[in-house]
A and B are shown apart, each in its own frame.
Chain A
Amino acid sequence: MVTKEVRDQYKVTIGIECHVQLKTNTKLFAAVGNDARDAEPNTLISHICLGMPGALPVLNEQAVALASKAAFALNSVPSPFSTFDRKHYFYPDLPLGYQITQFYQPVVLGGSVDIFVDGKPKTVNITRAHLEADAGKSSHPAGADYSLVDLNRAGTPLLEIVSEPDINSPAEARAYAHELYLLMKYADVSDADLFHGNMRFDVNVSVSKTDELGTRTETKNLNSFRSVEKAAEFEVNRQIELLEKGQSITQETRGWDDAKQKTFSQRGKEQAHDYRYMPEPDIPPVQLDSDYISRIKDSMPVMPGEWRTKLSGLGLDVSQTDILLDAEVADSTVDYLEILEKNLTDKAFAKQLANWFVNIEIPFRADENNTVSLSNEGRATVYAQTAALVGDSKLSSSNAKLLITELLTHETLPESIEKYADEQGFIQVSDTGEIEKVVIDVITANPQAAEDVRNGEMKAIGFLVGQVMKASLGKANPGLAQELLRKHLQ
């Protein structure tokens, strides 16, 4: 194990390449379906996917539009002129014998991503992002003397986003990966379904005691934020341990064993390919004029950074905001931020709303035993009226939670939410006379506690308030109850 003391002597440098699968209807270079999730093997293929003689790639314009949106999401602009290249290697899941990618002139050059780690902001610069076609999928059944190839994924459009080596800890690596996820989701360029491999991360890690960068390793194909962090953590420790033992780091490609939570060696530098990159003569350069670029810019939705700015006046902490940002895109049919945005002028209510979302609705939905049927409009009404009832002291905060979770399961709202809350027994009693009767009963029934209060032992008043709440079946306004208890015990 590496002690903190040893570890602190090393500077960690991490760069991340992320492959994002773009949500086009068809493949990057062929007019066949792109969503292979439920398709039988080798059903989403055409002549070009199979590398048939004479078949030519035809660029999918939608992929260019999505890459252009991604450029703005990455705080950059799409390049007005980009080109495609061929990257050569032989493998059965690469039927053409080359991958079509953008090596020399990518669609996105430069950019940046803002992240927060431990509440502190940091900017990770983007080197480039380029379009490329995915390969097919090979599988090697255990014990079989054959391998299987599924070309459904061959030609799926990917955007490879390459960061500068600006990341200095596994936690930052995770935050960066998560922020990329949010950016791609908000820009609506990818389903960003990590489970289905829509985003895959290659993490380059090196450590050094000096300003000179150490030898790096690349751990490929990580498909969760957690594995990005864990793999980076593992590599940092492994490399420091080796260096501390006086050994050197081998520049290599490594894989991640999720079960063992370990990286393992896959391919050394000496086995690195010469890809013989060549301009792709079958695809003319992509030229985007300024009208096109400004149309894309105008079509950009509100991005996470802008949401953070909008919400900044509410005094939420970073993690609360992140929960809201995540929830907004976890299910695109459910609005949180839009509802909040409409109420930003009423800061107190907006903050309460944010808290209710974070503490009540989002955890409620996360429990798969619960079903939420209410529309976005209905939800907005529930929250507004619940807040009004709380404001009028008609509803305690604990009953507010019960009312909200109850109503979320409704398909249609009751005519009057207040009446409904009352029928459900959620409305608290603020009628002084009614509560006073209960208070007198409670004082009578608890003479010792009453005596203690009279003697100035004020903590006993909490017990008495509890008794009032109990006797009123939770409907009494606790503030009022305390006020009345004090009055009677002066």
Chain B
Amino acid sequence: MSDTTAAIPTTSQWPSLKDLTSQVQSGKVTAVELVERALKTIGEKQDYQAIIATIAERARARAVEIDKLIADGSHVGRLAGVPFIAKDNFLVFGADTTAASNILKGFDAPYQSTAIERLEAEGAICVAKANLDAFAHGGSTENSDFFTTKNPHDTTRVPGGSSGGSAAAVLLDMAPFALGTDTGGSIRQPASFTGIVGYKPSYGLVSRSGVIAMASSTDTIGPLARTVEDAAYVIDIMAGKDSLDSTTIDRDAAGYDITSPESLAGKKIGVIKEYMGEGLDAGVKKQIETSLESLKEAGAEIVEVSLPSLEYSLGVYYIVVPAEISSNLSRYDGQRFGFSDKSAKDLEASYVQSRTKGFGAEAKRRIMIGAYVLSSGYYDAYYNKAQTVRTKLINEFNEAFKDVDFLAGPTAPTVAFKIGENASDPLQMYLADVMTVGPSLVGIPSLVIPAGKVDGMPVGLQLMAPQKADRILLSVGATAQEKLSKEQK
């Protein structure tokens, strides 16, 4: 294991995305150099097990192309030559797409995710695929069928999940940003556990096409980055309607790129009472309170808001989401792609054996819960009731946003837990999602920014805005990050 302090650089080797792009465009640095820099860092820090596979060959070829375009004076995009890392549930050319599952081992994507396509169209270069809990089921990467990623702040701890590989990769400076997916906190919680920025956009703002589905009604795609500005820059490129995903929404006419961050002055922030009570680690609570105090100093008005139905959000989430998971995982049947047990004697056996051997324990647990809540006789008691409460939750959030501009709270009840600490207790593991599933069920955007540390482990402040208010959330979020980072120095 490499030395932890050396692994997390005090100063990043990557300037801001805008600076990096202008350096490439002006020829100050080449795309090839950036790709090599990223691949070198990935190679040096592989002990953290953040990466499942590199896409070295394709990345190098793309870098050469981009450098040639620049040399020819041709137009290059807004992320020309910028390397990035994608969570391994994005379909990307040049390496297998596995979702960290045995059942998809060796799966060669026949097309690419819209998110990847849009970034590539602006010249970005995907250099590696990051580890995750298999099919994004989990909050620690311990459910990866391959290996567990280590938290660079303390290698005995998890980096969070399911986008733990992406979070660790950014913290380890392997690339200026990474893509993650967030269904119930999978971008936000690892951002909090590793002390970086994580952004879960409004549901539908970024196309889900070509991203391996977990739960279709809450799956979102977003960046993990060092700054809110960089996250916003990436969102600006990925956001907007996609003819391949009918649930996508129009992008904001003004875009998401932050030219001058909006001030906190006069912004009313509602602190969610239910997130600050029982179950919240005292150290985390203190860090969040201190951060909110800083935002108040910067001119924000801080009030307390109560969302009583949040109490049920975890219960609702673990009915609705497994239901969708059990359905979405039906296509992994060993018949057309991925793992297929060749010893099966007939069709029925082929289904049973391929899925029994191909899926890990957590996927099976969720398939069973999902199949149960959807089965005839239980649908009304579970799924329907959960959807009713979900509607109530949406109404409560809408009501709250009539009075405040943003909602705030911690991202997770604790700092990163120890590897193995929750692994044998699925309920304990699910409880780590208690502060992130609410916004997922409601579909609102949620931003996590670093908010100091407790005993050397990072804490993330979660800021939420109404649906489609991504632009203002990012812009004010940038100001908030700036303010909090000054406090922490």
Residues in A lying within 8 Å of B, measured CB to CB: 47, 50-59, 86, 88, 90, 92, 95-98, 147, 274-278, 281-284
Task: Give Cα A90–Cα B326 distance, bound, in whole angstroms.
Answer: 12
Say whether A52 contacts B209, CB under 8 Å.
no
Q: A53-B91, A90-B333, A98-B330 known; A277 and B247 CB under 8 Å?
A: no
A50 in contact with B324 (CB, 8 Å): no
For this complex, 11 residue pairs linking A to B, each with C-beta atoms less than 8 Å apart, are: A47-B110, A52-B111, A53-B107, A53-B213, A53-B331, A54-B211, A54-B212, A56-B245, A92-B347, A274-B375, A278-B324
Number of contact residues on B: which range applies?
35 or more
Chain B's nearest CB lies how many Å from the CB of A25? 16
- Check A90/B374 contact, CB under 8 A, given A51-B336, A53-B107, A281-B216: no
Residues of chain B in range 368-412 having any CB-CB distance to chain A below 8 Å: 371, 374-376, 379, 383
On whether the beta carbons of A281 and B217 are closer than 8 Å, the reply is: yes
- In the complex, are the beta carbons of B246 and A97 less than 8 A apart? no
B330 close to A96 (CB less than 8 A): yes
Given A47, A59, A97, A281, which contacts B330 in the complex, CB threshold below 8 Å? Answer: A97
Whether A276 and B375, one on each chain, are in contact in the complex, defined by CB atoms closer than 8 angstroms, is: yes
Judging by beta carbons under 8 Å apart, are B111 and A47 in contact? yes
**Shortest beta-carbon distance from A62 to chain B in Å:** 15
Assembly CA distance A98 to B215 (angstroms): 15
In the complex the two chains form, is A276's CB within 8 Å of B209's CB?
Answer: no
CB <8 Å contact, B351 and A90: yes
Give chain B interface residues in 292-350, CB to chain A under 8 Å: 323-324, 326-327, 329-333, 335-337, 347
Q: Quick one: which of A53, A59, A275 contacts B104, CB cutoff 8 A?
A: A53
In this complex, the member of A52, A86, A147 whose beta carbon has the largest number of chain B beta carbons within 10 angstroms is A52
Q: Report yes or no: A92 in contact with B211, Cβ–Cβ below 8 A.
A: no
Q: Which residues from A are CB-within-8-Å of B332?
A: 53
Contact: B208 with A56, CB < 8 Å? yes
A56-B336 in contact (CB<8A): no
Interface centre among B107, B327, B347, B351 (most CB of A within 10 A): B327
Minimum C-beta distance from B338 to chain A (A): 8
B113 near A282: Cβ-Cβ < 8 Å: no
Q: A97 with B333: in contact, given A54-B211, A276-B371, A282-B216 (CB under 8 Å)?
A: yes
User: Can you name the residue of chain B whose Cβ is closest to the Cβ of A97?
Assistant: B330
Of all chain A residues, the one with the shortest Cβ separation from B350 is A92
| B111 partner residues in chain A, CB cutoff 8 A | 47, 52
Given the complex of chains A and B, what is the CA–CA distance between A151 and B342 in angstroms?
Answer: 22
Q: Which residues of B contact A147 (CB under 8 A)?
A: 347
Contact of B247 among A52, A55, A282 (CB under 8 A): A282
Q: With contacts defined as CB atoms under 8 Å apart, how many contacts are there between chain A and chain B in the complex?
A: 93
Question: For B209, what are the chain A residues with a Cβ–Cβ distance below 8 Å?
Answer: 54-56
Cβ of B97 under 8 Å from chain A: yes
Contacting pair A96 B351 (CB below 8 A): no
Interface residues of B in 72-126 (CB under 8 A from A): 91, 97, 99, 104, 107, 109-111, 113
Q: Find B246's partner among A47, A59, A92 (CB 8 Å cutoff).
A: A59
Does the CB pair A98–B327 fall under 8 Å?
Answer: yes
Q: Tell me whether B210 is interfacial, beta carbon within 8 Å.
A: yes
Cα distance A176–B374 when bound, in Å? Answer: 36
Asked if residues A92 and B335 are in contact (CB atoms below 8 Å), the reply is yes
Partner among B91, B244, B371 whose Cβ is within 8 Å of the Cβ of A58: B244
Query: A284 vs B248: C-alpha distance in the bound complex, in angstroms?
Result: 10
Given contacts A86-B327, A96-B331, A98-B327, contact A52 B244 (CB under 8 A): no
Contacts A276-B375, A283-B246; is A53 near B212 (CB within 8 Å)?
A: yes
B243 within 8 A of A: yes
Given A96-B331, A281-B247, 7 other A-B residues pairs in contact with their CB atoms under 8 A? A47-B111, A52-B111, A53-B99, A58-B246, A59-B246, A97-B329, A278-B374
- Chain B contact residues: helix, strand, loop or mixed: loop
Those 9 A-B pairs whose CB atoms lie nearest each other, nearest first: A97-B330, A281-B216, A276-B374, A281-B217, A51-B331, A54-B210, A53-B212, A54-B91, A274-B376
Residues in A whose Cβ lies below 8 Å from that of B211: 54
A88–B109 Cα gap in the complex (Å)? 25
On whether the beta carbons of A284 and B383 are closer than 8 Å, the reply is no
Q: Which residues of chain A have C-beta atoms less than 8 A from B330's C-beta?
A: 88, 90, 96-98
Distance to closest chain B CB from A30 (angstroms) = 10
Closest to A29 in B: B246
- A282 and B351: CB pair below 8 A? no
Which residues from B are CB-within-8-Å of A90? Answer: 330, 333, 351
Query: Are A284 and B247 also in contact (CB < 8 A) when A53-B107, A98-B327 are?
Result: yes
CB contacts (< 8 Å) of B351 on chain A: these are 90
Cβ-closest chain A residue relative to B90 = A54
Q: Determine whether the beta carbon of A277 is less than 8 Å from that of B379.
A: yes
**A159–B104 CA distance with the chains assembled, in angstroms:** 35
- For B376, what are the chain A residues with a Cβ–Cβ distance below 8 Å? 274-276
In the complex formed, the residue of A with least CB distance to B107 is A53
Decide: A88 and B327 in contact? CB cutoff 8 A: yes
Residues B243 and A58 in contact, CB atoms below 8 Å apart? yes
In the complex, chain A residues whose CB is within 8 Å of the CB of B213: 53-54
Chain A proximity of B329: nearest CB distance (Å): 8
CB pair A284–B99 under 8 Å, yes or no, is: no
Docked-complex contact A53 and B97, CB < 8 angstroms: yes
Q: How far is the CA of A281 from the CA of B333 in the complex (A)?
A: 21
Distance in angstroms from B101 CB to nearest chain A CB is 10
Q: Smallest CB–CB gap between B369 and chain A, Å?
A: 12
Once the chains bind, are A95 and B336 in contact (CB under 8 Å)? yes
- A281 CA to B113 CA, complexed, in Å: 19
In the docked arrangement, what's the CA distance between A277 and B331, Å? 16
CB distance from A171 to the nearest CB of B (A): 36
Looking across the interface, which residue of chain B has its beta carbon closest to that of A151? B336
Q: Give complex CA distance A97, B213 in Å.
A: 14
Residues of B within 8 A of A276 (CB): 326-327, 371, 374-376, 379
User: With a CB–CB cut-off of 8 A, which chain B residues contact A51?
Assistant: 331, 336
> Which of these, A52, A88, A95, A274, contacts B110 with CB under 8 Å?
A52
Measured in the bound complex, the distance between the Cα atoms of B111 and A89 in whole Å is: 26
In the complex, A54 Cα to B329 Cα: how many Å?
A: 11
Q: Given A276-B371, A278-B374, do A54 and B327 touch, yes or no (CB 8 Å)?
A: no
Question: A86, A88, A98, A278: which has the most chain B beta carbons within 10 Å?
Answer: A278
- Whole-angstrom distance from the CB of B93 to the nearest CB of chain A? 13
Q: Name the distance in Å between A78's Cβ and chain B's nearest Cβ.
A: 19
**Assembly CA distance A86 to B323 (angstroms):** 11
Taking a contact as CB atoms closer than 8 A, the residue among A50, A58, A278 that contacts B336 in the complex is A50
How far is A283 from B375 in the complex, measured between Cα atoms in Å?
22
Question: Which residues on the B side are within 8 Å of A86 (C-beta)?
Answer: 327
Residue of chain A at shortest CB distance from B347: A92
Closest residue on chain B to residue A46 by CB atoms: B111
- What is the bound-complex CA distance between A147 and B347, given in angstroms? 10
Of chain A, the residue at the smallest CB distance from B207 is A56
Which residues does chain B contribute within 8 Å of A95, judged by CB atoms?
331, 335-336
Interface 1/0 per residue, B193-220 and A, CB below 8 Å: 0000000000000001111110111000
How far apart are the CA atoms of A56 and B247 in the complex, in Å? 10
Q: For the complex, what is the distance from the CA of A46 to the CA of B324, rounded to whole Å?
A: 23
Q: Which B residues touch A97, using CB under 8 A?
A: 327, 329-331, 333
Assuming the contacts A47-B111, A51-B331, A53-B104, asked whether A277 and B91 have C-beta atoms less than 8 A apart, the reply is no
